[in-house]
A = this chain, B = another copy of it.
Amino acid sequence: MAFAWMSRLLGRDQSQLQKAIELSKRLVSGAGETGGTIVAQELANCTAALNDEELFQYFRWLVDDMAPDQPVLLVAAQAYVSEPSTLNAARLTEAAEPRRQELLRRLNTAPGGTARIVALRGKLLTLLKAHPELKPLDIDMKHLLASWFNRGFLELRRVDWNTPAAILEKLIVYEAVHAIDGWDDLRGRLAADRRCYGFFHPALPGEPLIFVEVALTNRISDAIAPLLDHPPAGREASPETTAIFYSISNCQPGLRGIGFGNFLIKQITQNLRAETPSLRVFATLSPVPGFRRWLDAGGQQLGTGLARLCAMYLSGVQADGTPGPSRDPVANFHLSNGARLDRINEGADLSAKGQAESCGVMVNYRYVATAIEENHMAFVERGEVRVSPAVARLLRSSTIEP
């Protein structure tokens, strides 16, 4: 029985969890209830006060007891099986929506409700590995969040030294690629020849969802350290021709998998072009986080030369020399967004992390406006990785000869 596990709970735990469940029931059942927002607010506060064990039990309750109504769904499914008409499909769609979706929509009406739901999903994701039975809840949460954080509702904003400190400090916390070492370091990242953009949602006004750091330079960077220096060693006064995307960080663990990144890079490229017409080249300086693992798993035996091996890894060449899908998450992201693999830089990231994961290699993915669509299609539909002539030469030289 669904509530069986609840008997194990005692004292405060039980009552807090019980309260969350009672409020949830009340919230989901009240038909347009006047007090809806008040109950939603109470439930929001209550879930925020649950400890990890209680939260796990609450999530289980959502999975088990806030599923679609079983008898109703059964009838609708049987009706559709007997007669798969448009009308029966529509009825089945309705019956198949888990009640927890409506519950979450009502929870969202509380002040701060959206932030609460994002936080709940963050917790859920940490539990999911050990508790795959919570997956149905994640499907619903992700479904709702993807709908609410639809690109049409997001706002791209420039982040600079005039941005509120409350937002800036989040960059320090959330920077996932090249750690920001305090406020002075942050200030360097927002200097005159740097750009930073973030996506924001109206319901999370002070929270960046994702942000991108860009350096304006006059050539495609081949190492990360000079970009992180401040004041930059020999920063050029010459006209800026090149935008280097050197860091992309997701900020909200609870929005994992929602994916606004492709729109972000495309839109930033447009903004940069409008703002700084001298810019001609748009490229990344990216890590290769799966490289070391791939080498250790056998890649090493495919030949010699770090750059050659990396080109093979990223272009997805198989052990037998035939092309295959890229295995690197960063590569997948940029290649599916229409970039080409432009250059492989050895010794480009000498940090501990860079050495440990990427063997010090960093890669430039380049976005050429006229080729984006075609590169994207080639990669998505046929798994082909578009590369620059230089990388092509590297790959030819690396063809495995038995």
Contact = CB atoms under 8 A, between A and B. Distances in A.
Interface of A: 31-37, 63-64, 67-68, 70, 73-74, 77-78, 80-81, 84, 86-87, 89-90, 92-94, 96-98, 105, 108-111, 113-114, 133, 135-136, 139-140, 144, 146-148, 150-153, 161-166, 168, 182-183, 187, 202-203, 206, 259, 262-263, 266, 336-338, 372-373, 376, 380
Contacts of A150: 105, 108-109, 148
Contact of A89 (B108, B136, B165, B376): B136
A31 B74 CA distance: 32
Contacts of A146: 105
B68 A373 contact: no
A89 B109 contact: no
B164 A31 contact: no
A32 B259 contact: yes
A92 B77 contact: yes
A139 B34 contact: no
Contact of A96 (B86, B93, B109, B183): B93
Contacts of A135: 90
A72 to B, nearest CB: 11
Nearest to A87: B136
Given A34-B338, A93-B139, A162-B164, 19 more contacts: A32-B262, A36-B263, A37-B151, A37-B266, A67-B89, A70-B89, A77-B92, A78-B81, A90-B98, A93-B97, A105-B150, A108-B150, A109-B152, A113-B152, A148-B148, A161-B164, A162-B165, A163-B165, A165-B183
Q: A-B pairs with the 10 shortest C-beta distances? A: A202-B202, A90-B136, A109-B151, A96-B96, A77-B77, A108-B152, A183-B183, A162-B164, A34-B376, A93-B96
Nearest to A260: B109
How many copies of this chain are found per oligomer?
A: 4
Contacts of A70: 84, 89
A165 B114 CA distance: 27
7 contacts: A34-B338, A81-B81, A94-B139, A109-B151, A153-B203, A162-B166, A164-B165
Most buried by B among A37, A73, A182: A73
B266 A34 contact: yes
A380 B74 contact: no
Nearest to A67: B89
Contacts of A89: 67-68, 70, 73, 96, 98, 136
Contacts of A338: 34
Nearest to A79: B77
